[in-house]
Structure 1
C-alpha cells in the first residue's frame, strides 16, 4: 500500500528526492543529479560480487573456496549515500528509500539467466515482530514485479534466532548461522534467486544456499542492493 502511494505521487511529480529533498524526483524517487552520484558497482567478482579493479569470473577467495551459490550481483558499493539509505530503510522504516533503491537496483542487476523463483532471506519471527517488516521481502517483491519472476517469501524460514552479525568475521558468521534455516516447500529442480539487502561476507547467503540445495534446488543465484568490500 505504501509503495502504491509513493508510485502515485512520483507519477504526478509531487514527491521529493529521498536524498536531497529537492524535486520533483524521477519515477524512481531520486533526482537525476543524486542518481549520478550513487556508487554503482561496475567491476566485481561474478561469483560473490566482491568489488574488483576489473570484472572476473572468480576472485581469489572464490577460487580457493567456491561458494555454494552460483553467482551474486549487487547494484552498488556499500558506501555513501547508499549505505545511509539502506540503514534508513532497514532500521528506521523509511519505505520511500527502500522503494527507490529497489527500483534502481532492479534495472541495474537484471538477471542474465532468469531464476524460476525469487526467495527473500527471511527474518526470525521475533525480529520480524520488532521491525514490522522484512526488508528483503519488500525488495524481492519489487524485483519480482520488475523482472516478471514469481516470489515465494515463505519457502525459506529462519527458525533459529541468531546474534547480530555486524561485527563478526565470515567464519564466525557461518558458525552463527549453521542450521538456522529451514525449507518449507519443494524447490526441487528449480533455479532460486535469493534476495537480500547487503552482502557483507556472503555467510548468510552461503547458509541459505546450502539449505536450499540440500532440499533439492538445482541452482541458487543471489541479488542484493549493495556489497561490502
Structure 2
C-alpha cells in the first residue's frame, strides 16, 4: 500500500470521527453526512431556479431567467443545492480558506445525495470535470483545488469517472469576487483550455459556488469547443 493511500485513509478516519458530531450544533444524535437532521433541514435550500444558470426564480411557472432566455449560456443546465447564505456560506469559506476539509466533505456528501435524482438516464454525465485553478494559485496560495475535492466525492457516490486534467486554466486572472458579470466575462476570456479527449462526451462541470455564472460559461464553452456534446453544471451553492 502506498504512503499516499495510507495517509489518505488516516485523514478520512480523522474526518469520520469529527463528523460523528454535527458540524453546526455539535449534536451526536441523528448525524448523517456531518449534520444532524434539524440542522440539515435548516440549510438554505435553493428551491425553484433557472434550469440553465440556477438563478433563483420568483414565478414557479418560469423555467429560465430573463438573461438565459435572451442569451442562452453554453451549459445545458445547472444544478445547485443551496443559497450562498448562512450557514452554507460559512462552511464553504472554512473549506476554501481555512483548510476545514470536514466542512467541505459534509457539503459535498449532502450535495451528492441531494443531486442524485438529477443524473439519471440521459441526464447522467459521462465524465466529471472540476473547474480548475491556475497552477500558480493552487500551488503557492491555496495548496489545493476545492472543486476537485468536491468532484471526487460526487464521482464516488455517483460512480462517474473524474478527470481533473481535462480542463486547464491557462491564464492567472485577477480575483473575481468584486467583479460584475460583464467584468468577470472579460476577465475570463480565453482563460480555459479543454483537452480533446472530452470529444463526444457529456461533461459534468463541478464547482463550489456559482456567483454570476461567468466562470461556468467560460469553462463550458471551452469544453464544447473541444468537442464535448453537452455540459451540465453542478455546484454546492448559488448567490442570489
Q: How would you bin the TM-score normalised by the shorter chain?
A: over 0.9
Alpha-carbon RMSD across the aligned residues, in angstroms, is 1.6
Does residue 117 in structure 1 map to residue 127 in structure 2? yes
TM-score of the aligned structures, taking structure 1 as reference length = 0.94
Q: 1:89 aligns with which of 92, 95, 103?
A: 95
Is it true that 1:127 corresponds to 2:133 in the alignment? no
Q: 1:212 aligns with which of 209, 213, 223?
A: 223
Check conservation: 2:134, 2:168, Cα contact below 8 A: yes
Relative to structure 1, the CA distance from residue 32 to residue 210 in structure 2 (aligned partners, 3 Å threshold; closer, same or farther) is same
Structure 1's unaligned 5+ residue stretches are none
Q: How does 1:6-21 map to 2 (within 5 A)?
A: 6=14, 8-9=16-17, 15-21=20-26
Is the CA contact 2:21–2:28 (under 8 Å) kept in the aligned structure 1? yes
Q: 3-state DSSP class of the match of 2:92?
A: helix
Match of 1:99 among 105, 127, 130: 105
- The answer to which structure has the higher helix fraction is 2
Q: Deviations over 1:178-210 (max 9, x none)?
A: 111112341111000000000001000010011
In the alignment, structure 1 residue 227 sits paired with structure 2 residue 238 = yes
Verify the 8 A CA contact 2:192 2:222 in the aligned structure 1: yes
Q: Report the equivalent of 1:152.
A: 163
Task: Quote the residue 1:50 is aligned against.
Answer: 55
Match of 1:167 among 178, 190, 193: 178
8 Å contact kept, 1:118–1:195: yes
d(CA) in 1 for partners of 2:20 and 2:192? 39
**Alpha-carbon offset, residue 9 of structure 1:** 2.4
Aligned residues: 226
Structure 2-normalised TM-score? 0.89
Q: Is the 8 A contact 1:16 1:29 kept in 2?
A: yes
Q: Deviations over 1:118-169 (max 9, x none)?
A: 0000011111112111000000000001111000011101111000001111
In structure 2, distance between residues paired with 1:224 and 1:49 = 10
Which residue of 2 is the match for residue 4 of structure 1?
Answer: 12
- How many Å separate the matches in 2 of 1:56 and 1:224? 21
Name the CA distance, whole Å, in 1 between partners of 2:34 and 2:61.
29
